[in-house]
Structure 1
Amino acid sequence: MTRKILFHGLLLLWVTAISCKKYLDVVPKEIVTEKDIYDNINTAERAWANMYTSLNTSTTNIYYNTVLGACTDECKNHWENVPELKFNAGAWGPTDNSLDNWGWSYQFIRRANIFLKNIDNTPIPQDRADYYSIRIPQYKAEVRFLRAKLYFELLRSYGAVPLLGDDVTDVSEGIPDVLNTRKPVDEVVNYIVTELDQLAPVLPIDYTDNPGETGRITRGAAMSLKAITLAYAASPLFNGNTMYAGIKNTDGAQLFPQTYDKEKWKKAADAAKAVLDMNVYALNNPNPSNPIDNYARLFYSREYKETILPYLIGSTRDLDQTMQPNGQDAQSAGGNGKFSVFQEMVDAYEMNNGLPITDVHSGYTKDGFWDGPLWDGKAYRQAKNISNMYKNRDPRFYASINFQYAFWDSANHRRPLKYAYFGNNGGASDGWPKSGTNCESGYNWRKWCDPGVNLRGGGNGNRNFPVIRLAEIYLIYAEAMNEYLDAPSQDMYDAINKVRARVSMPALPVSGTNDNTKAGMRKRIQNEWRVEFAFEGKRFWDVRRWLIAENVDNRDVHGMNARPSSGELQATGFDPGSEEAGLAVFYKLTTIQRRVFTKRHYLMPIPQTEIDKGGGKLVQNFGW
């Protein structure tokens, strides 16, 4: 099957499309029967292709209703009445969780079971027997992978979850008891890992010999998901977390391990090392002489060397339209600038000497301005009056975040970006003052945007979402070894330094820091996760598995003073509607939002509808 056919299959609204209702609320109604589907190899292949749509979830990418980056300390979705607002206020629960993936996941798991039960009995044309004798085992391995990944998504959302069992394909006779019984975390992890170990050898290493099928699941994807699953199992959320001591099944079975096991980190490290030792993947390095562009291109190209598991996306400008700065004049990018990035995210980027901005020797200063070259996505452009806050930072900062007086594709949009309040702007502002829609923090996402897409001209973006990429495996290895050993090792440094070298950041340990200690490196590694995977949906889960979310997501979050009061503007002595007045009060740390996170938010609540259907057998998570 060519990539074109595969891609169309992924987008196909097939006859078993997901119901709008929860899986356990109703008996699923199929438009056609299983016999109709699996009596024909063509429709059976569509069932296989449809399973790939399970990769498109709020837990894995930014093309979704609720964006995870806006539910943690990265940014705010500043559009009106968005689901993230309720989520960040802590005003959600078992009946109204916009990130609930319980019923949706079990629908797909059931579809996987149906496929695996039937595909071997699907009639094959005699002249195609040899062809399908190779493909059907691979189809089965891919479907098993996708089922395992669904269980991983359930694991990190809810912890202990029911394991449906291969034989559960029909609920027309009622809800099977297996769906009312949560399995302990370690049992869920073991199931996922065992499945991945068994199916990995069936999958190809790559599609070099058949490039038209690039994008399908590979052996490396299975091995990588194993490493990721084991890293979660080793993390504080699931490894000896006594907060969950009282979460037990009705028979008294303990659902969360209560004893810390250091060896779980070694298992995660070994699994990550196995992927690295394949020597199949490499960090994307299209422009090593320009570390900003070298990193940025990964997110607006179809890249298959660093990307271990892609979610295939059609050629479109939808994301560019959503993310690009939103000024309305002819010289602006003309996008919608949907997300306001927080100062906390900006401050996470180190100086280019490898020191955090909090280090007195870093050279960081908030005061003053500078003139100099800035990358606009295609070329360097001489910028003026740039705050010293944005000078000499990690190149990933410039590739990921737009800020005051930076440039975006200056060949087509000649003016610099303007986020300071500019009341009488005539549209010549990227933070134009319309309540509920303007950029509130003085920063927008830059990452993901393609400078080749001119929203006032032509062009579409061509990108995939990297569900798993090699940098993640390097950081898992570094983190796991740091937690396993008493002190950092050289091979651990080597792993994280490969990620840093791609953007020309200094190798660790940096002189004068505590990078040579376990605690010091833990802090470094966690920050590396934060900046390398900014706006990729990782941070939301990382702060939970590290058990730090009640600190980072339960506080005020800040930005620049992009929406000053009329009194502030009048006090400047300038015309209150002028650019000068807005600039005079812009560089002041301002509270954008108060975030609420309590201990119960570390895990999602099991949907109340599922609790009710279970007749009291399905126990709820902590605090809900």
Structure 2
Amino acid sequence: MKTFYFIAIVVIAGTFQSCKKYMDMEHYFKDRMNIDTLFVRKDYADQWLADVYTHLREENLDVASKDFAPFNLISDDMFFGDRGDELDSRSYKNYKNGEYNEGWTQRSWGSCYQGIRKATIYIYNIDRNRQMSAEQIATGKAEARFLRAYYYWLLLRKYGPVPLVPEQGIDYTRPYEELAIPRSPYDSCVAYITRELATAALDLPLSTTSRDKVRPTKGAALAARAKVYLYAASPEFNGNTEMADLIDNEGHQLISQSYNDEKWARAAAAAKDVIDLGVYRLFTAPFNATDQGPAQPKTIVPPFHPKYSNASFPNGWSDIDPFESYRQLFNGAITASANPELIFSRVTELSGVGPEAMAKHQTPYSMGGWNAHGITQKQCDAYYMNDGADVPLNPRTPGFTTNDQDHLPLPAGVSLQYANREPRFYASVAYNGSIWYRLSVVNASLRSKQVFYYRGEPDGKQPASPQFHVRTGLGIKKYVNPTDSHDGKEAGSFVIPKYEPAIRYAEVLLIYAEALNELGGSYNIPDYTGTKSHSIGRNIQEMSYAISQVRIRGGLPDFDGNVYGSKEMFRKALKRERQIELLGENHRYYDLRRWKDAPVEEATPVMGCNMDMTVAQRELFHTPVVIPSFPTIFVKKMYLWPISHEELRRNKKLTQNPGWTMPY
């Protein structure tokens, strides 16, 4: 029976891999020989499991350059400008116009299914190992089960409902048409993934060593489970009648047409499972932790508040540095193993791919970077003032700083509309005239520079380098460490290694608050072990417990009672909080779709500074204008990514997502 099973699983996998022919018998015999021998030995089994992990990288990263994670840079908050050629299938315009189908960004389909296949083979064969203890076998199975579920989740998030490969295998001697697998309903995919993650969590450890940080923990499985439930509860997949035409090969609807309030309760309970572990907390840097001399930016102290200024975190910010607490999360200042907030990360060592690549793309051209990533005016205006008030827009704050002391941390010559912002703004946004650092270079005169984006400036709009300028005049500093130097010509320069924040505790807290807010009733939801239940309902105290930690860490007061008292007001505030807190972590693109906000938000013209203005016209430069080179369009088909024609031709029971074409 086991031999037959592996014949089946290999052939099934072939239907999802562009690099393997459907009946590639040479591949079958190679795999059968390996399966009969390698799982008996620990070293071979460990190598197999390590190979399962390899599919988490490149096209399946969350934080990476646009070639691997374009979704991080094609929503309404961020953009890239260094692929200006419209003939390039991966240009910004092609993504924003919905002119995509085949190519590099479709590799995730085959890669995920290869990972699913390899994980399944491991799960069903590791018990024959004679060199591993029962505990080691259980942990290995749990890791493989997590990976398999996570690959399905990546597919579900991008493509919507996908085929669930039968674990029992099928008869490979049947005709090709009978071996094809249809897409499973969205709720069936969710049920399978969340069940697998809960099962994996039972045998995964609470923590790992620094050497094994890439391996999933109990918390990683439970946090991923909460994410899956959150999406399932959201408007895109919970009673979405606008997606009634998303059907399988027999015409069955793949998204439930009836709203189910209990789905929010499941998401809240899943997040509560993570919170109740008691393992994670938000990272905070001690007050004045980085006061290392004039080369460092001054510590940003929130204005006095009678409730928060004299209280310790999480009740206040008296003992923390909100600016550094947020900045150090992403710039490599702390290691992955030392970060109490990090739940799951690929901890990629590929410097040209992950957060380090993001930092290079964001660094000014005059300092060895590519000056290609930026944020929109909408994202800039989303950040609060330092007292928690909204940014004044009509009119914007006029005038410019005249020195580097009166409006810390702003240097001289900077628009006052960037003064008195919340600490996360200064940790994330490279406004016009901000100071950039590269402290690792030997030449002290090159360690800091005030960078302007006016036309004619080295980092402004120039005919000689049309792709390498920040199109909105609003750059990004998230993931950039003040020590980083991307100019290899400077002696002694280096870049601080960074890790990907795929899932962190702040996200779990925001999931919990969002799910609680949406509830209309009360429910008893079993925990992941099935041995106890959570009593779940809209609970203002619990909502405040979750979201206030995120805001206070960022130097902002909690919301007032009016916000908590209104489901609509809190929903709006929660969405804004995710937009700020999770910038550049591959959330906004998917959030706008699951909330069904994309038709409005992504079709709104992109605004930014007037990049045609010189320093002599600085008032006009800072008067927002529409960026004409950035298209803004959203049509229904852009909710889900198209399935490639190659896969549709291979599997005749696959159906295409609404609005996309089928192969000839």
Does the TM-score normalized on the shorter chain lie above 0.5?
yes
Q: Deviations over 1:310-343 (max 9, x none)?
A: 1112284852662343243xxxx32112213211
1:519 Cα shift? Answer: 0.4
Equivalent position amino acid for 1:154 in 2 = L
1:35 Cα shift? Answer: 2.8
1:516 Cα shift? Answer: 2.8
Cα distance in 1, alignment partners of residues 583 and 204 from structure 2: 31
Q: 1:476 aligns with which of 511, 519, 522?
A: 511
1:100 Cα shift? Answer: 5.8
Cα distance in 1, alignment partners of residues 45 and 173 from structure 2: 22
1:164 Cα shift? Answer: 0.5
Counterpart residue number, 1:574:
none
Counterpart residue number, 1:494:
545
Structure 1 residue 419 corresponds to structure 2 residue 457: no
Cα distance in 1, alignment partners of residues 472 and 186 from structure 2: 40
Equivalent position amino acid for 1:260 in 2 = Y
Q: 1:354 aligns with which of 379, 383, 388?
A: 388
Q: 2:363 aligns with which of 314, 325, 329?
A: 325
1:421 Cα shift? Answer: 1.1
Identity of aligned residues (%): 30
Counterpart residue number, 2:658:
622
Q: Is the 8 A contact 1:265 1:480 kept in 2?
A: yes
Structure 1 residue 35 corresponds to structure 2 residue 86: no
Q: Deviations over 1:453-508 (max 9, x none)?
A: 23344223222101110011000000000001487612102210111111111111
1:514 Cα shift? Answer: 4.3
Q: Is the 8 A contact 1:24 1:613 kept in 2?
A: no
1:466–1:177 CA distance, 2 compared to 1 (3 A): farther
The count of aligned residue pairs is: 569
Cα distance in 2, alignment partners of residues 228 and 388 from structure 1: 39
Counterpart residue number, 2:260:
261
Structure 1 residue ranges without an equivalent (≥5): 1-16, 565-578
Give 1:337-416 correspondences, 5 Å limit.
337-357=371-391, 365-371=396-402, 383-409=411-437, 412-416=446-450
Q: Is the 8 A contact 1:366 1:388 kept in 2?
A: yes
Counterpart residue number, 1:113:
120
Structure 2 residue ranges without an equivalent (≥5): 1-12, 288-319, 440-445, 522-537
Residue aligned with 1:594, SS: coil
Q: Is the 8 A contact 1:272 1:474 kept in 2?
A: yes
Q: Is the 8 A contact 1:316 1:460 kept in 2?
A: no
Structure 1 residue 588 corresponds to structure 2 residue 589: no
1:316–1:604 CA distance, 2 compared to 1 (3 A): closer
Residue aligned with 1:180, SS: coil
Structure 1 residue 293 corresponds to structure 2 residue 324: yes
Q: Is the 8 A contact 1:181 1:249 kept in 2?
A: yes
Give 1:202-217 correspondences, 5 Å limit.
202-207=203-208, 210-217=209-216
Q: Is the 8 A contact 2:63 2:585 kept in 1?
A: yes
Counterpart residue number, 2:312:
none
Moved more, 288-297 or 218-227: 288-297
1:103 Cα shift? Answer: 2.2
Counterpart residue number, 1:597:
634
Cα distance in 2, alignment partners of residues 316 and 278 from structure 1: 33
Cα distance in 2, alignment partners of residues 321 and 74 from structure 1: 17
Q: Deviations over 1:395-433 (max 9, x none)?
A: 1111111111111127643331111112xx5x4x35555
Cα distance in 2, alignment partners of residues 403 and 60 from structure 1: 28
Counterpart residue number, 1:437:
468
Cα distance in 2, alignment partners of residues 414 and 358 from structure 1: 31
Structure 1 residue 143 corresponds to structure 2 residue 144: yes
Give 1:555-574 correspondences, 5 Å limit.
555-564=604-613
1:589 Cα shift? Answer: 1.6
Cα distance in 2, alignment partners of residues 106 and 272 from structure 1: 27
Give 1:158-197 correspondences, 5 Å limit.
158-168=159-169, 177=178, 179-197=180-198
Structure 1 residue 103 corresponds to structure 2 residue 93: no
1:93 Cα shift? Answer: 4.5
1:586 Cα shift? Answer: 1.5
Q: Is the 8 A contact 1:242 1:258 kept in 2?
A: yes
Counterpart residue number, 1:70:
73
1:436–1:383 CA distance, 2 compared to 1 (3 A): same
Residue aligned with 2:448, SS: coil
1:246–1:139 CA distance, 2 compared to 1 (3 A): same
Q: Is the 8 A contact 2:15 2:651 kept in 1?
A: no
Cα distance in 2, alignment partners of residues 618 and 72 from structure 1: 28
Q: Deviations over 1:280-327 (max 9, x none)?
A: 001111234431111010002223410101111228485266234324
Q: Is the 8 A contact 1:72 1:539 kept in 2?
A: yes
Equivalent position amino acid for 2:575 in 1 = Q
Cα distance in 2, alignment partners of residues 371 and 540 from structure 1: 39
Counterpart residue number, 1:274:
273
Q: Is the 8 A contact 1:300 1:450 kept in 2?
A: yes
Counterpart residue number, 1:568:
none
Moved more, 153-162 or 541-550: 153-162
Q: 2:568 aligns with which of 519, 540, 548?
A: 519
1:358–1:101 CA distance, 2 compared to 1 (3 A): farther
1:370–1:160 CA distance, 2 compared to 1 (3 A): same
Residue aligned with 1:529, SS: helix
Q: Is the 8 A contact 2:460 2:611 kept in 1?
A: no
Equivalent position amino acid for 1:186 in 2 = D
1:34–1:355 CA distance, 2 compared to 1 (3 A): farther
Residue aligned with 1:154, SS: helix
1:245–1:437 CA distance, 2 compared to 1 (3 A): same
Q: Deviations over 1:550-578 (max 9, x none)?
A: 111123212111234xxxxxxxxxxxxxx
Structure 1 residue 537 corresponds to structure 2 residue 586: yes
Superposition RMSD on alpha carbons, in Å? 3.1
Structure 1 residue 551 corresponds to structure 2 residue 600: yes
Cα distance in 2, alignment partners of residues 153 and 50 from structure 1: 18
1:223 Cα shift? Answer: 0.8
Equivalent position amino acid for 1:185 in 2 = Y
Cα distance in 2, alignment partners of residues 20 and 233 from structure 1: 25
Cα distance in 2, alignment partners of residues 19 and 618 from structure 1: 11
Cα distance in 1, alignment partners of residues 426 and 462 from structure 2: 22
Residue aligned with 2:436, SS: coil
Counterpart residue number, 2:53:
52
Cα distance in 1, alignment partners of residues 81 and 48 from structure 2: 38
Counterpart residue number, 1:567:
none
